Amino acid sequence: MALYRLIYVSQAIAGLEYPDLVNILEKSEQNNRTVGITGMLSFGDGMFLQVLEGSRRVVSQTYNRILLDKRHVNAELIEFSEIEQRDFGIWSMKVVQMDSQPQIRNIILKYSSSETFSPISMTGRQSLSFLRELTELYQKGSISNN
């Protein structure tokens, strides 16, 4: 079976708070686990950056469902491509909230033109590298998701 990766960015609606992120994570983990989707969702400065991995059909169906979610607007597809292997296979979904942790700030500065999390300006390659570096920090215990 061929594997695919989809990366998109979107803007959170005004008033979105941490309990909303927890709700997104819980539902995503449950839905994704049953269909073989893995991935990661990062959130900060009112922006989402998410990667999904799995079969083409299931990734496409999941993305179409995500587009209907009223907690975000202005979704833009950054990348959709065939991949050799999963990069985020340890999670059916993981949420990392961008905050003032110095390690995250350094990664943001590495891939952004400002100190704010602005994935809308990232290329597909930059987005993937950014998410991979966040994953690495999380796995080392250097950052947490809350």
- CATH code of 3-140, in short, is 3.30.70.100
pLDDT of residue 100: 61
Q: How far apart are CA 121 and CA 83, in angstroms?
A: 23
- Sheet bearing 72-83, strands edge to edge: 72-83, 3-12, 47-54, 38-44, 95-97
pLDDT, one tens digit per residue, over 36-88 is 999 998 888 899 999 999 999 999 999 999 999 999 999 999 999 999 999 98
Mean pLDDT, residues 5-20 taken together: 92
pLDDT of residue 146: 47
pLDDT of residue 48: 92
pLDDT, one tens digit per residue, over 106-135 is 888 888 877 888 898 899 999 999 999 988
In this prediction the pTM is 0.88
Domain boundaries, the chain: 3-140
Residue 142: is its pLDDT beyond 90? no
pLDDT of residue 21: 84
